[in-house]
């Protein structure tokens, strides 16, 4: 009998939140192009607040990593987020009529889910060199695996609005799929490390899944 990979175990243990996060009504409305533009604009503003802190998380994962391959993979990912993905956000905000003064507001009121992300990211960053890489990678892997899952599932969808269409392709292109495959392989290796608390990482993965689902819920409010 084949042993369950740790990355698969994390997903299994994260139910029902994994299912809720990867097949949410928000996603289905978005890929069909029927999502209200104001709802999506609000979502993007909140996601931009998440991404700016998420970039710090990736930077710390790079610092906590041990190998050049890890540093290369993560630094390439950080470069993509701060270049191509950032360009997508800026163009989308302009098309949706969102002013820079709003999405760059340092005092922006964030959703409870986004605050939850920020709190978990801070704890991972502050956890130190011994466990910091595992904690940071668990959050990164969960967040990106959720988006890759629905991105690949709906890769045949092509809504007219570029801010819908490009959001899908950003999460199903070959590079992104290979990144998520690598992230999962890193989690599989961490799961074999006797110094790693598997159940603590599982609880963290589940928490991030729950926040992802909650974020989609809150975007409609």
User: Would you please indicate which residues are annotated as catalytic (active-site) residues?
Assistant: 212
- Residue 156, classed as helix, strand or coil, is coil
Residue 69 is assigned to a ligand binding site: no
Residue 47 is assigned to a ligand binding site: yes
- Distance, CA of 151 to CA of 54 (rounded, Å): 19
Cα-to-chain-centroid distance, residue 127: 20
Task: Determine whether 204 is exposed, middle or buried from the number of CB atoms within 10 Å of its CB (0-12, 13-18, 19+).
Answer: buried
Task: Determine whether 28 is exposed, middle or buried from the number of CB atoms within 10 Å of its CB (0-12, 13-18, 19+).
Answer: middle
144, 212 in Cβ contact below 8 A? no
141, 210 in Cβ contact below 8 A? no
Residue 218 is assigned to a ligand binding site: no
Per DSSP, 99 falls in state: -
For the stretch 191-198, contacts whose Cβ atoms lie closer than 8 Å and that sit 24 or more positions apart, written own/partner, are 191/5, 191/6, 191/7, 191/9, 192/6, 193/134, 195/130, 196/131, 196/134, 197/131, 198/6, 198/9
- Distance, CA of 58 to CA of 137 (rounded, Å): 8
Residue set of the binding site for substrate: 47, 85, 144
Which residues fall in the annotated binding site?
47, 85, 144
């Amino acid at each position: 009998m084949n042993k369950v990979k740790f990355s698969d175990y994390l997903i299994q243990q994260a139910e029902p939140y994994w299912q809720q996060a990867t097949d949410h009504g928000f996603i289905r409305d978005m890929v069909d192009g029927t999502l209200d533009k104001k709802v999506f604009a609000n979502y993007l503003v909140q996601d931009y607040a998440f991404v700016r802190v998420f970039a710090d998380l990736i930077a710390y994962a790079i610092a906590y990593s041990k190998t050049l391959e890890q540093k290369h993979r993560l630094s390439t990912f950080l470069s993509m987020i701060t270049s191509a993905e950032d360009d997508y956000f800026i163009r989308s905000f302009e098309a949706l009529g969102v002013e820079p003064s709003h999405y760059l507001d340092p005092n922006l009121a964030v959703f409870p889910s986004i605050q939850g992300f920020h709190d978990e990211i801070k704890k991972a960053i502050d956890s130190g060199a011994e466990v910091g890489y595992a904690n940071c990678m668990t959050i990164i892997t969960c967040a990106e695996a959720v988006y890759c899952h629905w991105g690949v599932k709906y890769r045949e969808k092509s809504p007219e609005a570029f801010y819908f269409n490009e959001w899908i392709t950003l999460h199903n292109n070959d590079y992104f799929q290979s990144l998520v495959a690598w992230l999962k392989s890193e989690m599989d290796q961490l799961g074999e490390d006797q110094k790693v608390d598997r159940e603590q990482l599982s609880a963290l993965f589940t928490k991030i899944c729950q926040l992802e689902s909650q974020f989609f819920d809150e975007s409609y409010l």
